[in-house]
Amino acid sequence: MAKYRIAWLPGDGVGKEVMEAARIVLDGLKLNAEYIHGDIGWEFWCKEGDPLPKRTTDMMKTTNCALFGAITSKPQREAKEELIPELKDKNLTYFSPIVRLRQEFDLYCNERPNVAIPGCPLNLKDNINITVFRENTEGSYAGVEFGPVTDDLKKAMLKDAPKMKIFMDVPNEDMAISTRIITRKGAERIIRSAFEHADKFNKKSVTLVEKPNVLRKTGGLMTEVFEKVAKEYPHIDSWFDNVDAIAMWLVKSPEKYEVLVAENLFGDIISDLAGQLVGGLGFAHSANIGTEYAVFEPVHGSAPKYEGLYKVNPMAMFLAAKMMLIYLGEHEMAAKLQKGIELTVKEGTVVTYDLGGKATTLDVAQEVLKNALK
Ligand code: IPM
Ligand code: MN
């Protein structure tokens, strides 16, 4: 029996290609694992009305963790149009499977490292090392939305939120409401993860990304919890920055930041910004971690226009696989993979188009493996 059981979730488009590349590397490193394929993605939405069939989550529950490629998501109207005729009138709603996985497995911690690989021509600066801790289960992603609204809802809101007054005369069908829900528990566990990481890796600071001057209630709760947890780590510098201001600061002086912590949507946005400072989509990767389970993924999407071309950079996938190896405790293997990635980028000969090269996704896999085993 293999040491690990890993759920293998390629998903759509180039997700399949970068996962194929990941297998070359993991097999070459001799990870003692059994990989179990899981159906997920657009195909299953169209054919079955569910992009994340129950058989897949059931299978995942029998594994140590999952590696995930990418999925296609489309707005509701287009999603409905692509359903097979038998499912069209079933009133089905498309939900992003990755967002569902994060909620169903309570993977509250989305860790997104953005570390400049030495010599990568896409680095804004070479001294960038910023890890974003994004809350992954609540905030604007909780899915608590209304549209059209109802009179009852408006009245109930007016009772506790006097500002609702200016919307009372808006016709119900001309209005939509998306909530941003923050709980003390949700805030505390992600903020704690950020400080624990800073403590473990001797990082000097943790910055909360918020907007409490406008989002007084939710931003206020985040800030309150942040200040409380920060007191337990007096040796770590901590402060909060407004989300808009930090977007500018991150471009101007990224080296000032080491660990960022944010609620779901701010974390989503700010981690794309941070990712672009050190190579962009070809490198951005993340770990979705809960207390029982974890899913590792590149941040990029399924890139339908590149499907079948084996053109996209698999480095983001390899970096996600490296995080998985660390999660499994395979530190030596993770270090080898990191070396393989770094050497390949530094040499700059067998690289994909985004790095100025002509190599295919699978060529890069072979090169990274060769360098990892050196
Ligand atoms: C990400 C992605 C997802 C998100 C999408 C695909 C739903 O942008 O992982 O950052 O918004 O969380
Ligand atoms: Mn995103």
**CB 210 near ligand 1, within 6 Å:** no
In the block, residue with structure tokens 């006097």: 162
**CB 7 near ligand 1, within 6 Å:** no
* Mean per-residue pLDDT, 9-17: 97
Best mutation site among 40, 263, 268 for ligand 1 pocket (most ligand atoms within 8 Å of CB): 268
Report the separation in Å between the CA atom of 272 and the middle of ligand 2, taken as the mean of its atom positions.
6
- pLDDT tens-digit map of 272-316: 999 999 999 999 999 999 999 999 999 999 999 999 999 999 999
The minimum-distance atom of ligand 1 relative to the CA of 286 is 9
Output the pLDDT for position 328: 98
- Of all residues in the chain, the percent with pLDDT exceeding 70 is 100
Q: Is the confidence at residue 76, as pLDDT, over 90? A: no
Q: How wide is the angle at C-alpha 72 spanned by C-alphas 364 and 34, nearest 5°? A: 55
- pLDDT tens-digit map of 312-353: 999 999 999 999 999 999 999 999 999 999 999 999 999 999
Closest among 341, 272, 307, 313 to 11, alpha carbons compared = 307
Pairwise CA distance, residues 29 & 162, whole Å:
61
Pairwise CA distance, residues 273 & 45, whole Å:
30
Start-to-end CA span in the chain (Å): 29
* Mean per-residue pLDDT, 17-39: 98
> Ligand 1, atom 8: nearest CA belongs to which residue?
268
pTM reported for the whole predicted model: 0.97
